[in-house]
Amino acid sequence: MAKIKMTTPIVEMDGDEMTRILWKMIKENLLEPFIELNTEYYDLGLEHRNETNDQVTVDAANATKKYKVAVKCATITPNAARMTEYDLKEMWKSPNGTIRAILDGTVFRAPIVVKGIEPCVKNWKKPITIARHAYGDVYKGSEMKIPGAGKVELVYTAEDGTQTKELVHNFTGEGIVQGMHNVSQSIASFARSCFNYALDTKQDLWFATKDTISKKYDHTFKDIFQEIYDAEYDEKFKAAGIVYFYTLIDDAVARVMKSEGGYIWACKNYDGDVMSDMVSSAFGSLAMMTSVLVSPDGYYEYEAAHGTVQRHYYKHLKGEETSTNSVATIFAWTGALRKRGELDGNSELMEFADRLEKATIDTIESGKMTKDLALITTIENPTVLNSEEFIKAIGERL
Ligand code: NAP
Ligand code: MG
């Protein structure tokens, strides 16, 4: 068989710990035998980030602007323990945060649905993709404890000095207060990323806020989405046969529970934080969750939603066998390869991505899986494979 060629590279961001081990196995067993893999390689492993003063992360993000498609392995976000473990010069920032700040994107998280790993919500048949607006609101809020009686106001001072005031509360005793903000530019980017991704994946887009109560703050989110939809996306959505659906957040939650899935749910920052954990745990496993950062300019960065699986890595270092699930990392690669194929008009590459996903799902549905899935599957007597055996079983099927 002739290997599939790639005209344009994918930006490849290597990572840390157990996922770095899986990364190499996936390339050797599932990609390189079939594709003349064309990537621009960036080593985001913590040691190399430290050596380059984290410049490698910035370079990788800029390369993503150049080539439009990236695939990323999970990486360590340093904390105090990692400072000593890796003898770090500085507590480097989260690579995902750095990359997102450069690409200005929205993260879409979607579960990989297989027969035999049933969601807790029995009517969920198709994936529910959560898009979380990752800027502002309570995450960039300022807060005060109010010690006693007194007045709290919002004050806006324009550049020319004119002031606008709004009473928050006349306190008669102790209390608390919070100020938060968002910027129209960021909301508009979020909206465009969501509309684009809905078109890309041919799924309906749902969005919800509490605009009836928050008549200025939340209502602005609703208005910006609607204005952009009407001006730029209405025709495209109709042509694609998909729908943009806005409702109140509590109504959305009730409808989501009764739906069969198969749509994108755009969420404000806090709603996305909460709902993405609910949806991922209800679908079964963090190891079966993919994640893609989509920028409003059309850059795509694919990764697994889970971390570096540190506990398994330490077992691996001690020479013990591991059974780490590589599905989300495989789907990060297929996502990137399919997008590369789509942008380059390379249908062979797109077909390969479909086949690798099917081989992965078929392997699990035939009863061969890693330990985390064996513990929750409805398939009787599953065969538990170790990290490498599972990848090889997919390779055989492919
Ligand atoms: P984690 O790597 O997601 O793993 C937490 C636990 O979830 C594991 O110990 C394991 O449970 C289970 N798990 C996760 N992925 C699995 C898989 N593929 N196969 C089987 N089991 C899986 O989270 P963490 O241990 O809290 O974080 C480790 C490092 O990852 C941290 O340094 C953190 O900064 C980083 N992180 C990176 C990203 C990213 O790059 N996007 C995201 C999150 C965290 P059992 O031990 O019970 O088997
Ligand atoms: Mg959360």
Q: Does 312 appear as a known binding residue?
A: yes
pLDDT at 197 > cutoff 90: yes
CA atoms within 13 A on the CB side of 280: 22
d(CA 218, CA 212): 8
Greater confidence, 79 or 140?
79
CB of 19 within 6 A of ligand 1: the answer is no
Residue 206, beta-bridge partner list? 245, 265
Q: Which atom of ligand 1 is nearest to the CA of 15?
A: 40
Counting Cβ atoms within 10 Å, is residue 16 exposed (0-12), middle (13-18) or buried (19+)? Answer: buried
The residue-averaged pLDDT of 275-279 equals 88
d(CA 74, CA 194): 24
The residue-averaged pLDDT of 242-261 equals 97
At residue 44, φ and ψ (nearest 5 deg) are -90, 10
**Which residues lie closer than 8 Å to 220 by C-beta, 6 or more apart?**
182, 184, 187
Q: Does 185 appear as a known binding residue?
A: no
Greater confidence, 295 or 365?
365
Mean pLDDT lowest among 24-33, 119-128, 274-283, 320-329? 274-283
CA–centroid distance, 98 to ligand 2, in Å, is 19
CB of 386 within 6 A of ligand 1: the answer is no
Q: Does 250 appear as a known binding residue?
A: yes
Q: Does 84 appear as a known binding residue?
A: no
CB of 94 within 6 A of ligand 1: the answer is no
Ligand nearest to the CA of 107: 1
Ligand nearest to the CA of 280: 2
* Two structure tokens written together for 92: 């480097």
The residue-averaged pLDDT of 333-358 equals 97
* Two structure tokens written together for 249: 């957040």
Q: Does 309 appear as a known binding residue?
A: yes
Q: Does 325 appear as a known binding residue?
A: yes
Q: Which atom of ligand 1 is nearest to the CA of 329?
A: 18
pLDDT at 180 > cutoff 90: yes
Q: Which atom of ligand 1 is nearest to the CA of 324?
A: 19
Average pLDDT of the chain, as a whole number = 95
Ligand nearest to the CA of 278: 2
pLDDT at 382 > cutoff 90: yes
Third-level CATH fold of 1-115+289-398: Isopropylmalate Dehydrogenase (3.40.718)
Sequence spans of domains, the chain: 1-115+289-398, 119-136+182-283, 139-181
In tens, the pLDDT along 67-111 reads 999 999 999 999 999 999 999 999 999 999 899 889 888 989 999
The residue-averaged pLDDT of 284-291 equals 87
pLDDT at 136 > cutoff 90: no
d(CA 336, CA 291): 11
Closest by CA position to 129, among listed 11, 12, 242: 242
**Residue 328: which pLDDT band, with cuts at 50, 70 and 90?**
very high
CB of 35 within 6 A of ligand 1: the answer is no
Q: Which atom of ligand 1 is nearest to the CA of 94?
A: 34
Q: Which atom of ligand 1 is nearest to the CA of 306?
A: 3
pLDDT at 1 > cutoff 80: no
Ligand nearest to the CA of 75: 1
CB of 77 within 6 A of ligand 1: the answer is yes
Three-state SS annotation for the chain: CCCECCCCCEEEEECCHHHHHHHHHHHHHHHCCCECCCEEEEECCHHHHHHCCCHHHHHHHHHHHHHCEEEECCCCCCCHHHHHHCCCCCCCCCHHHHHHHHHCCEEEEEECCCCCCCCCCCCCCCCEEEEECCCCHHHHCEEEEECCCEEEEEEEECCCCCEEEEEEEEECCCEEEEECCCCHHHHHHHHHHHHHHHHHHCCEEEEEECCCCCCCHHHHHHHHHHHHHHHHHHHHHHHHCCCEEEEEHHHHHHHHHHCCCCEEEEECHHHHHHHHHHHHHHCCCHHHEEEEEECCCCCEEEEECCCCCHHHHHHHHCCCCCCCCCHHHHHHHHHHHHHHHHHHCCHHHHHHHHHHHHHHHHHHHCCEECHHHHCCCCCCCCEECCHHHHHHHHHHHC
What is the model's pLDDT at position 101?
84
pLDDT at 354 > cutoff 80: yes
What is the model's pLDDT at position 21?
98
Taking phi over 0 as left and psi of -120 to 50 as alpha, with beta for the rest, 397 belongs to alpha
* Two structure tokens written together for 230: 């009407």
